[in-house]
Every structure is written in structure tokens, then in C-alpha cells.
Amino acid sequence: MDSKELINLFEFPDKTIVNQTIFKVDLYNQLEKVKERQIVQYDLDKITLLSILNESRINIPVVIDDVESFEELLFIYIELRTIIRPQFAFKTIASTMPYHMVGIVKDVNNQYTVLTGNYKLNKSGFLNIQDTNQSGTIEGQSFVKLIKKLRHTELPTLNLKIYYQAINDVLNANRIRSLTGMQVEKVDNELSTKIEEQKKNIKGLKGKIKKEKQLNRKIPLMQKLEKENRYLEELIREL
């Protein structure tokens, strides 16, 4: 899917559409850490600014005070050329942007991850990204259905903060659905992260149990697996 197709799928308001390439050299020159520069140089294929949402373009009030700033919202399309975790690419680009960002990342297998960030306003008034919220990896009609939920007409427009939080809610709900199969409308990002990490722990334990040949070592692992499964069930009940 190219940037024009993605813009059409989102159905952005005409006044917000940009569809301009962000050149990698411009990002590279803003970064100081070697690892981040390597990501831009080797892992990113193409970056496109799809849309800019702000008060002048769509008449959504901003939220600016001493602790947070929701002044503008950027939709960025990030196409990867290597196997790299989408959140690394997103955080690297977001660290160069002064505004909140929604990232649509396409990996080398033509699968997609949609991400937002949790930001902290520093003393100089610049937004520093702390961590990410994400949809989980999706493709095909699942991706199309998710983007339709993120269309401007589907989100609350009381102000940009509420607008961005609504996007987070959609992404977290999609992430939980992909992890558990449960249909939820709203879920805390911290809880969805815990569930994802717990499922990874359980998968790792199952692998160890399968490889272990000695019964005296396998039994403690099986007991631990039972305990971890119970904890996962407790987390899911919190949804």
C-alpha cells in the first residue's frame, strides 16, 4: 500500500492532507545517538508525512499547559527495509518531531503496526517520547478495519488530547483482541503490555519444557508454567 492509498483509506479531511516525503538525511542530522542514526541509515526505507491535524486545519482545540502539550498531531507512514521492531523505528522518528505522532509502520513482510507515543514535556517545552502504544502486527482486512476505526469521523473532537487518547484506546483494544481473542472497547496500555509480556513468558517456558529431557528438571518447569498461566488468567479478568 502506497501513501496515497493509505490517505484514501484514512479519509483525512482535505485541509489536513500533506503526503510529503521526509528525507532520511534530515532525520539523521537531528540525531546524536549512534544507534538511532544506524536505524535511519540502514533500517528505514521511506518516511512519508501523510497528514497534519491542528486547530487551524480542522478546528479542534489544542491543550497546552505546564505539564503537557497537544498542539498538533502528525500521521507518519514508515516503510522498513530490514527486520526491526516497529517501536524502535517509531521512537527514533518521534524523537525528532516536536508534536504528537501516529505512526503506521509497514515491515518487510507487508504487515502493519500502528503506534502512538506517551510523551513528557521537558523544561524547554519539547515533547520527549517515553514509550509506545501499539496495535500489534496486522495485515489484510484486519488492517483495513483498524484504519476505518481511526478515521477522523469516528473519533471525538472535543480537543486534541481527547482525540489522541481515543486513538490510543483503539490501538490497545486491537492489541488485546490479537492477544486474547476478546472484544474490548477500552483497555489500559500498561495492562495490555503485561498481558503481552506474560504470553511471551509462557511461550518461552513451553519451549524449555519441550526441550528438557530430565524429568526432575521438567517437573519444576511445569509447575512454574501452571503458575504463569494462572497469572495470565488473572490479568485477563481485569479487562
Same domain, 160 and 200: no
Same domain assignment for residues 207 and 155:
no
- Residues 221, 133, single domain; the answer is no
One digit per residue, pLDDT tens: the chain, 239 residues?
999 999 999 999 999 999 999 999 999 999 999 999 999 999 999 999 999 999 999 989 999 888 889 999 999 999 999 999 999 999 999 999 989 999 999 999 999 999 999 999 888 878 999 989 999 899 999 999 999 999 999 999 999 999 999 999 899 888 877 666 656 556 666 777 777 788 888 888 888 888 888 888 888 888 888 888 887 877 776 65
Are 17 and 37 in the same domain?
Answer: yes
Question: Around Cβ 25, how many Cβ atoms within 10 Å?
Answer: 9
pLDDT for the residue 175:
81
- Whether residues 218 and 117 fall in one domain: no
Q: Which of 135, 155, 180 is the last residue of a domain?
A: 180
* The pLDDT of residue 30: 93
Cα–Cα distance, 94 to 115 (Å, whole number):
11
The residue segments making up the domain with residue 167 are: 3-180
- Do 175 and 130 fall into the same domain? yes
Same domain, 83 and 141: yes
- What does the radius of gyration of the chain's CA atoms come to, in whole angstroms? 20
Same domain, 205 and 117: no
CA-to-CA separations, 102 to 64, 76, 152, in angstroms, rounded: 19, 6, 13
* Lookup: cell for 159: 480537543
Do 32 and 63 have their domain in common?
A: yes
The Cα 35–Cα 92 span in angstroms is 9
Query: What's the domain count of the chain?
Result: 2
How far is the C-alpha of 23 from the C-alpha of 136, rounded, in Å? 27
Same domain as 194, residue 171: no
All residues at 6 or more sequence positions from 177 whose CB lies less than 8 Å from its CB, including other chains:
183, 184
CA 60 and chain centroid, separation: 23
193 and 176 in one domain?
no
Question: 217 and 152, same structural domain?
Answer: no
